[in-house]
Structure 1
């Protein structure tokens, strides 16, 4: 909390956010849909938000074996439906709402597909071993 932020201002902001959520909930209710019954046309079976056109890859890039493939379950499916490894170690990828991709190595730069973000991660690692993170 900043020095200029008072408890009163924080509570006022929290109340405004809660009011905004209430208005959004009322708008969904008025539209006749629940949050769990929203139309997901074009989103496959909702096991992941991944693009069904994404192809698997298996190549050597900068001397590192990189592989990627669509997945249909588990944690990777929740973050875009794509599993990637660098030299057999999992690289955690996430797909943004706009369809771009980020990884734990390149978290602040977006890429157009899993292959591009994986290659960028290899570049950023500069030969270092990828240490997988616990995502559970």
Structure 2
């Protein structure tokens, strides 16, 4: 449901295969972090015990959705705004990694803004 909401309701631009990519990234990152967090931080045995795993996954999915939305919107807007420049670099022989690094660094900054702002509230009190 989280991937469906991100791809169909929150992002205006549609890219082929976006749902599957968003689903895989949200599912595996949330399950991995949720399992590791429950096992080591909360000492839950087994790590997927429902009384702690369900609330943890709910919080993780909410935060992950926000980060994915900001990241995808940043990547798509960067590609739309600098599309001519990207095509120019590619025509001059730039590799895909040379083109992608500035776009992804900007997207990572945008995706981490809500998480950093949330941590700032905890650190200031």
What TM-score, normalized to structure 2?
Answer: 0.24
Which has a greater percent of helix?
2
What TM-score, normalized to structure 1?
Answer: 0.23
Larger Rg: 1
